[in-house]
Amino acid sequence: MNMDSIGACGDWCGKCPHFRRECQGCRSKAGECKFLKCLARRAIEHCGLCPEFPCKDLESFVPDDRLPRGYHIESLRYRNEVGADKWLERYSREWRHFVG
């Protein structure tokens, strides 16, 4: 599984046309991402595992304005239910139409 394509915020970086071209995903920008900084302090993998989930920062964040507001929060809830492998399988299939 390519963890680089799974955003800590619940987004799938693989749908972005810049992924792998100009951008290696949010995990490559850990110093710039407030969510990754928070996760590092808490020693957790993604925002859905946080005891404060969903926090105000996550609720106000819009990772992709092509999708409904809050989709990333529902995405994280789903990831908590099924795990990263099944999450990646589902969202890479569902969001593939955004690529290229």
Q: SS3 for the chain, per residue?
A: CCHHHECCCCCEHHHCCCECCCECCHHHHCCCCHHHHHHHHHCCCCHHHCCCCCCHHHHHCCCCCCCCCCHHHHHHHHHHHHCHHHHHHHHHHHCHHHCC
pLDDT over 80 (residue 47): yes
Question: Mean pLDDT over residues 50-73, rounded?
Answer: 92
Average pLDDT, the chain: 86
Question: Mean pLDDT over residues 44-58, rounded?
Answer: 95
CA 47 to chain centre: 8
Q: Are 98 and 66 in contact (CB under 8 A)?
A: yes
**Hey, which residues does 19 pair with through a beta bridge?**
23
Question: What pLDDT was estimated at residue 98?
Answer: 73
Prediction pTM value:
0.84
Residue (of 15, 12, 10, 33) closest to 81 by Cα position: 10
pLDDT over 80 (residue 26): no
Confidence of residue 15 (pLDDT cuts 50, 70, 90): confident
pLDDT over 70 (residue 93): yes
Question: Mean pLDDT over residues 74-92, rounded?
Answer: 93
pLDDT over 70 (residue 29): no
